Amino acid sequence: MALPTGHSLPNALQKQGLPGDQFGTAVGISYNQVVVGAPMSDMSGADAGAAMVFERNSGGANNWGYTSLLVNPDGAPGDKFGSSVGISNNYAVVGAPGDSPFGSHSGSAFVFLKLVNGWMIVGQLTDGGGAANDNLGASVAIDYRTVLAGAPLDKVGNNLEQGSALVYEGLCGSTNYRPASRSDLPESWTVEAYPVPFDDVLNIRINTVPTAIHVSLTNSLGQLVRDQKVDQPERSGTDNEDYYFRMQTSGLQQGMYFLRVQAGHEIKTQTLILTRF
């Protein structure tokens, strides 16, 4: 019986790229889509990295054709974006363990949503208790709207490089992390906005903030489109420490929005996407 043969995927950077891009370091597949990482690509700077999406039957029957380039527009040399990748339906996640949001090589991951005209970044996932050299994003996995990101060099307690994995639910918003192996993070209130992406109604759940809150929504141009003050949020009815309310968003154009929630002197922000299917 003849064994099936593989189909070679062309390097989408072959015209601009250089030897050493390491295209294929990480791969992911979901139905008829694949994503391939090239963490040493110099497109956005030396070893800033990139990832490419290919789709079956693009450019011919059974042909895996290149359709999209995924990069971090704010990337920096050494980020190694594309060291890990994952894809699930219309979402993709790309790890950048060399990114430095909380110190050199603390690491992060970026979530993309597939729209009609291409893929758009809808969130950056970080560890709010992270530190230099954690390498968060060295590995990633995604299942629909839940992402798991590994930080193999994370210090846990007094254990150097013990490592940890963080679960992100809702994709957008770095405040929505749930550490899988960390007990040393400071307690803080959290915000969860759903569904992701949202449409005519945006639901907002706030944990452990029994005080007045101020919520605003700003579009990608910096224009304030919604502004609400809530003297006493409603309890969820399922958890005495959870509060929630709904923001009507009908009439807004699809695109990227920025949610800002203030309780007292503390502020939480979250990047969201509005899509009308």
pLDDT tens, per residue, the chain with 277 residues: 344 455 555 554 443 456 889 999 999 999 999 999 999 998 888 999 999 999 988 878 878 888 889 998 888 999 999 999 999 988 999 999 999 988 999 999 998 888 777 888 877 888 867 889 999 999 999 997 788 999 999 988 788 888 988 888 755 443 333 344 444 434 467 788 888 888 888 888 887 665 678 888 887 766 789 988 877 666 655 545 677 778 899 889 888 888 888 776 666 777 788 887 6
Q: What is the pTM of this model?
A: 0.64
For 232, the domain range is 191-274
C-alpha span between 250 and 214 (Å, rounded)? 20
Give the pLDDT score at 7.
55
141 and 52 together in one domain: yes
Strands 108-115 and 118-125: antiparallel
125 and 52 together in one domain: yes
C-alpha span between 32 and 114 (Å, rounded)? 14
Give the pLDDT score at 151.
93
158 and 203 together in one domain: no
235, part of any domain: yes
* Number of separate domains in the chain: 2
* Domain boundary residue, one of 179, 213, 236: 179
63 and 168 together in one domain: yes
CATH number of the domain encompassing residue 241: 2.60.40.3080
5, part of any domain: no
172 and 212 together in one domain: no
175 and 229 together in one domain: no
Strands 213-219 and 224-230: antiparallel
In single-letter form, the type of residue at position 40 comes to M
* Domain boundary residue, one of 124, 144, 179: 179
Max intra-chain CA distance, the chain = 71
46 and 170 together in one domain: yes
Give the pLDDT score at 166.
87
137 and 243 together in one domain: no
Give the pLDDT score at 16.
47
* Domain boundary residue, one of 149, 179, 209: 179
218 and 129 together in one domain: no
Give the pLDDT score at 23.
92
C-alpha span between 120 and 131 (Å, rounded)? 27
